[in-house]
Structure 1
């Protein structure tokens, strides 16, 4: 008797979609290609994702969300806010570097998908700024930081560190001086936050 088939789940569809995107690129990848990779009909894929656009948006969201849990845990943790802020930003930078360097073709594909899914990107940024806001608020409560508006300060931190997380700068992340530049910027930002 043949082994039972693995059920088709949204995660399996998304994994197959990533493989198809890696092989064909976003311009040529189709739902039929994804279905073929899974050994199912394209209708089976559409049961999980109603449209090609919904599938591409889900892949983009999955890619952007990969570091959310780890970053959210850092934001919620106890301890000095300055240390958590450094750890949060360093973790984000490291995750972005891994994505860009580990699979450059897929990274380029995701950049293309992110351009067409600006709402997904906006939700991602909102989550990131929310984490930073929690850290700034805790630093304000403990007397480590001084700011009138933690949310605006978090947004400013996000913008000021864009060089280390915005994919536009991905080519520079592997530069030998990138870590030192990150440390210098963080020290500057921290000095501005301290009471």
Structure 2
């Protein structure tokens, strides 16, 4: 066994896969290309990922997890006011998606294709994001600052209402200079509607 093969990890394979996808795109990228980039046989890659589909799904999950992990800290920050957390979480979601689209457009376009192939991975990602939002809404209800009879349904509604600011199909709009003001207007409207009435 060569030293290269001994140190081969799933993480190294996923990093190489991202580079291959960036260079060749999802239609032309192959497991052989990934193996070549790593200096190993394609059989070595298959020992970690049994199929090309499994590799593509894993690299998509890794990409989506970066966003949910970045937002988890905001969602879990119980020392902050839930309304401020909610606003910051939705802003951070927008910024994370916009950064991905703007800083690496080739890979963003590639992932937009892969996301369509990875239904379960995408569903899990969306469930994780809405669970984070649900936790923030629940904290607001418990603190008496937000009103919601069903925090999970409210979180789902908030997520869908802000889709224009995080759904990749709207990425073309995110470069517009007025987009941040539009997001703030939507957040103001939603948060006014969620505030618990003052007694």
Give the TM-score, by structure 1 length.
Answer: 0.96
Q: Give 1:73 deviation, angstroms.
A: 1.4
Alignment match, 1:141: 142
2-structure distance, mates of 1:123, 1:65: 10
Per the alignment, residue 88 of structure 2 pairs with 87
SS in 2 for 1:25: helix
> Partner residue of 2:59?
59
User: Which structure 2 segments of 5+ residues have no match?
Assistant: none
Query: For 2:148 and 2:85, how far apart are their aligned partners in 1?
Result: 17
Q: Name the CA distance, whole Å, in 1 between partners of 2:109 and 2:63.
A: 12
Aligned partners of 2:48, 2:92: CA distance in 1, in Å? Answer: 32
1:58-84 C-alpha deviation (Å, 9 max, x unpaired): 010001010222211111112211100
Aligned to 2:36: 36
Match of 2:178 in 1: 177
Which blocks of at least 5 consecutive residues in structure 1 are unaligned? none
Q: CA deviation at 1:174?
A: 1.0
The count of residues paired between Structure 1 and Structure 2 equals 192
Q: Please state if 1:69 is matched with 2:90.
A: no
Q: Which residue of structure 1 aligns with residue 127 of structure 2?
A: 126
Counterparts of 1:90 and 1:112 in 2: how far apart (Å)?
25
Q: Which residue is equivalent to 1:19? A: 19
Provide the TM-score with structure 2 as the length reference: 0.94
For the pair 1:107 / 2:100, whether they are aligned, the reply is no
Q: 1: distance between equivalents of 2:117 and 2:67?
A: 21
Give the distance between the partners of 1:25 and 1:67, measured in 2 at CA.
22
Distance in 1 between residues matched to 2:7 and 2:98, nearest whole Å: 34
Where do 4+ consecutive residues of structure 1 move more than 2 Å?
none
In 1, distance between residues paired with 2:11 and 2:38? Answer: 12
Please give the root-mean-square deviation of Cα atoms over the aligned residues, in Å. Answer: 1.0
